[in-house]
Chain A
Amino acid sequence: MILKFFSGEFILNHVYDEIRMTGKFDLEIVVPGAFPLVFPRVRELSNCIDEYYPHQYTNGQFCLASDLELRMFFSQDTDICSFIEKYVIPYLYTYRFYEEYGVYPYGERSHGTMGNLEYLKDLFQVDDWKQVLDIMLFVVQSSYRGHLLCPCGSGKRIRNCHGEILKKVMNAALQDECRAILFEIERECNRKAKNGKRN
């Protein structure tokens, strides 16, 4: 079921870090009935996006940001206008920049689970992957208690460390996604260990 459907010409005239990108796009935005559990789908209809651009699905749907990032965003804001401003426009800007210079102005995520993990690493503002996994384990297994030691290993209490961000992650109900990612990592480790033994 579709909740809302928008389409029309969008004019890009935006600047980031002193570099301006312009362009016209025919956008279609479909907001599904199950929104915000299911995210809006965005496509360009007049072939302005090169079919080989890596950050889109085969049906032309934009890969705006990692699933976890969008889940976090919609847990705090369900306004479609702000979704367009914060995700659709920066995506089109990135696309035009990439077309012009072959690089991403503010980077890109790896595809799949790795991209989600990169998002969490940025979100938690930590340097190593072990910290990311420790915080994820905490999210999956525990509930928020500000006086406990922060799972990042800083030695500080949660409320003085990753408190705010942990609250947001838990409010966004990212536990299931984190659990799924952790299982996937475990499966991958087991598979590698088995292959290692065989060799």
Chain B
Amino acid sequence: MRKKELRQQDILKLIEGLDTSPTMYKNATEKYKAVGTYLQDQGLVCDIFPQGSFSLGTVVRPYRESKEADYDLDFICCLGDQKEETTAKYVKNVVKETLCKSEVYKDKLQNVEWDKCWTLEYAEVNGIGFNIDIVPGVSESDVIVQSMVNNGLSQEDAELAVAITDKKNQNYFWLTSNPRAYKHWFESINKPFLEYDRQNKRRVLFEKSRTVYNSIEEIPEGLERSSLQRVIQILKHHRDVYYCRIRKENFKPTSAIITTICAEIAKEIDSSLNVFELLQEIVNDFEIYSRNQILTEEEFSRQYETKNIIRKTNGKWFIMNPVNPKDNLADSWNDNPEKAELFFKWVMVMKKDFLDSLQIEDNDFVALLENNFGRDYVKKNINLKEYASVTPVIIANTPKPWRK
């Protein structure tokens, strides 16, 4: 039977393969900056910056309809206009119109208007393509910034808030978003994890990206991954596959929920833990939070005084957005309680697949890897000869079970 540590290395190798490669990272960075430069050259005062998983270093290749799909990378394009002096409709459309003036971008622009963004499609490199989602917006108004400060956010972070646009039924609305403050918050927690054994990790990274960078110093911080970032990637990818299998893709917990909860839990955890030790600690906490489902609110807070990341108050779930304390990331769980149920069920399946599975028989373990990462992908990336694995037989007849 293949050793536990070697199995962990295999899981890590598979998850690393779903991350942005150094080539793609470099390529995407150059491309989004070029979009910014182009828009400015056209006279559009703007600042373009990454948001979401690309800015947090928690990207995983999307899994759609049982297939690994192209990467979606999100960027905010924050215009210089004052929110009070413009409209969401203008902000959203001026970006598109300006992009369309260029033959290059006109070709890449998808012919669909998404509710919040425009999408530029970039060609595949080594069979993997990526999309740059441009989310137009402007700096948030003083009134909203002030209200965020009143809710406990620092002045500095509140001023980073952006008003992005949201199109619903042909009408445009403003929405508040604060990806830069979120990034600061995440980085402050991730920092000790990133620092741990950093030089060594950078050396390994350099070995893997020699074709892209000439020296260790050249490797951008954005490519480094801490055990916390890896844990988040493992969870996100397992979520994508699991919710697709159970045919409940619309019930998936958002990446914001996963990232926020993991980081909040990790705040209190020793930063020298490796990926699997940290995953175990985080899952242990998830298990405690799942007891919110069976205990009364008083019982839970009495037994687990310090556990208040996923809260239940007056029967309502609450996960605080760390950069907007009034914003409840679990809002949709209250509209649809099955989401909360499935969330805790999913966490247990994830635990079974990536923690408990380290003891099971080789063949069962390989099956697990294949089911979570795809058979071809596993075959290409893992030396299956290290496992006592038997090639499975294909099911040809598919009778549906019945009862009299």
A and B together in one complex: yes
Which residues of A come within 8 Å of B, CB atoms?
13-22, 54-57, 62-67, 69, 85-87, 89-91, 93-94, 100-112, 115, 118-119
Q: B402 and A55: CB pair below 8 A?
A: yes
Interface residues of B (CB under 8 A from A): 66, 242, 245-247, 349, 363-364, 367, 370-371, 374-375, 390, 392-404
Given known A-B contacts A20-B370, A20-B371, A86 and B403 have beta carbons under 8 A apart: no
**Which of A18, A21, A109, A112 is in CB contact (< 8 Å) with B401?**
A109
CB <8 Å contact, A115 and B370 = no
Closest Cβ neighbor of B360 among chain A residues: A22
Looking at the assembled complex, report how far the CB atom of B82 sits from the nearest CB atom of chain A, in whole angstroms: 51
A111 touches B404 (CB 8 A): yes
| Residue from B66, B375, B394, B401 with most neighbouring chain A CB atoms (10 Å) | B401
**23 interchain pairs (CB within 8 A)?**
A13-B390, A13-B392, A15-B394, A16-B395, A19-B245, A20-B370, A20-B375, A20-B392, A55-B401, A65-B399, A65-B401, A90-B398, A93-B395, A94-B401, A100-B245, A103-B245, A104-B401, A105-B398, A108-B402, A109-B402, A110-B402, A112-B403, A119-B402
* B16–chain A nearest beta-carbon distance, Å: 22
Residues of B within 8 A of A65 (CB): 399-402
Query: How far does the alpha carbon of A85 sit from the alpha carbon of B374 in the complex, in Å?
Result: 25
Least Cβ–Cβ distance between A131 and chain B, in angstroms: 20
- Point out the residues of chain A lying under 8 angstroms from B401, CB to CB: 55, 62-65, 91, 94, 104, 108-109
- Given A15, A16, A67, which contacts B398 in the complex, CB threshold below 8 Å? A16
With A and B bound together, what is the CA distance between A190 and B392 in angstroms? 51
User: Within 8 Å CB of A16, what residues of B?
Assistant: 394-395, 398
Q: How far is the CA of A20 from the CA of B395 in the complex (A)?
A: 10
Q: Which residues of B contact A55 (CB under 8 A)?
A: 401-403
Q: Which residues of B contact A107 (CB under 8 A)?
A: 400
State the Cβ distance, B357 to closest chain A Cβ, in Å.
12
Nearest residue (CB) in A for B370 is A20
Q: In the bound complex, do residue B400 and residue A14 qualify as a contact, i.e. CB atoms below 8 Å apart?
A: no
Q: A18-B66, A119-B402 are in contact. List 11 more A-B contacts (CB 8 A).
A: A14-B394, A18-B370, A20-B371, A63-B403, A69-B402, A87-B397, A89-B393, A100-B349, A101-B245, A105-B398, A119-B400
A57 to B401, CA, bound (A): 12
Contact of B246 among A14, A56, A101 (CB under 8 A): A101
Task: Identify which of B374, B399, B404 contacts A18 (C-beta below 8 A).
Answer: B374
**Bound state CA distance, A4 and B212, in angstroms?**
68
> In the complex, what's the smallest C-beta–C-beta distance from A180 to chain B, in angstroms?
13
User: Please, which residue of chain A has its CB at the minimum distance from the CB of B364?
Assistant: A22
B403 to chain A minimum Cβ distance, whole angstroms, is 4
Contacts of A94 in B (CB 8 A): 401
Question: In the assembled complex, how far is the CB of residue A87 from the closest CB belonging to chain B, in whole angstroms?
Answer: 6
Partner of B395, one of A54, A63, A89: A89
- Residues of B near A115 (CB, < 8 A) are 400, 402-403
